[in-house]
Amino acid sequence: MFERLTALISPEPENRAELLEILQDAHERSLIDADALSMIEGVFQVSDLSARDIMIPRSQMDMVDIAKPIEEWLPMVLDTAHSRFPAVEGERDKVVGILLAKDLLRYYAEESFDVRHMLRPAIFIPESKRLNVLLRDFRANRNHMAVVVDEYGGVAGLITIEDVLEQIVGDIEDEYDFDEEEDNVLAIKDGQFGAKWRVKALTEITQFNEALGVNLPDDDVDTIGGLVANHLARVPHKGDVFDIDQLRFEVLRADARQVHVLLVEKLGEPAAESVA
């Protein structure tokens, strides 16, 4: 009888949604803090996501082509300041290994330097690979990067262990992440309707308006991330697509607490608002 009464008063969760409700309630009663709640929610999210959901698309990958002289691609290595680069040979689909930036130090010290001898084996994974499985493989094999391939074997994108961990702990900034004010709004390519920009959520609305030539209001909030959250009336989720005025927004990166990076496109015609 006592066990039945206990179950009625505080029933055990029967599914994930009920468990998250209990955790939310625990946070509201200050039993766990916001960071702990966010990380727990991130762990659940990782088990639901696959590599295609967070990978760096092929078009945005920084690669080195070892078929070309080192002098041609070395400036790109210095400018991007990544620690690892997929190495291709002539074609973007022909990935032959991973080049560690630190191994290029030998280029300045050895007269007979051969970049091919410096390459580490590349790990290839399908787009459908679950992030929780991928994280376990990263840890077991001590890899930090994997090349994502599509069903035809072509390169679809790139994913790192940092990308996976950020889904749990939030955005991990290092000394090489872009953080200069002029890098808050980056033009990347022409979209279906017009130009596209990659925008950090912490970008001031005034800077955003100036860069895109628009006039979004900044009466209630100061940043684009705040404007987006107000517009949706909730924390944005990765993959959300919606329109504000003549702009289409897509959430590229977000965690349980806030949005981090957005893709913004100017629309040619007024479009009905939609939220994914």
Same domain, 186 and 100: no
DSSP run (H or E) holding 99:
strand 91-100
Same domain, 229 and 163: no
pTM, to two decimals: 0.58
**Residues 6 or more apart in contact with residue 186 via CB below 8 angstroms:** 178, 197, 198, 199
Residue 7 lies in a domain: no
Same domain, 136 and 221: no
Same domain, 114 and 213: no
Distance CA 216, CA 36 (A): 34
The CATH number of whichever domain residue 137 belongs to comes to 3.10.580.10
Q: 251 pLDDT exceeds 50?
A: yes
Q: 25 lies in which domain range?
A: 15-48
User: Of 270, 178, 184, 266, nearest to 222 (Cα)?
Assistant: 184
- Each residue's pLDDT tens digit, 26-47: 878 888 887 787 778 778 878 8
Same domain, 236 and 191: yes
Structure tokens at 100: 């560690």
Q: Average pLDDT of 99-111?
A: 86
Q: H helices within the chain, ranges in order?
A: 2-9, 16-28, 34-48, 51-54, 70-80, 105-109, 131-141, 161-169, 205-212, 224-232
Check: CB of residue 259 under 8 Å from CB of residue 235. yes
User: Of 238, 208, 237, nearest to 221 (Cα)?
Assistant: 208
- Each residue's pLDDT tens digit, 95-104: 999 999 999 8
Q: 7 pLDDT exceeds 60?
A: no
Same domain, 44 and 61: no
Same domain, 64 and 146: yes
pLDDT of residue 121: 93
Between 246 and 4, the higher pLDDT residue: 246
Q: 116 pLDDT exceeds 80?
A: yes
Domains identified in the chain, total number: 3
Q: 145 pLDDT exceeds 90?
A: yes
**Residues 6 or more apart in contact with residue 71 via CB below 8 angstroms:** none
Q: How confident is the model at residue 6 (pLDDT cuts 50, 70, 90)?
A: very low
Q: How confident is the model at residue 273 (pLDDT cuts 50, 70, 90)?
A: very low
- Each residue's pLDDT tens digit, 194-244: 578 889 888 999 999 999 999 999 888 899 999 999 999 888 888 889 999
Phi first, then psi: give them for residue 32, nearest 5 degrees: -135, 150
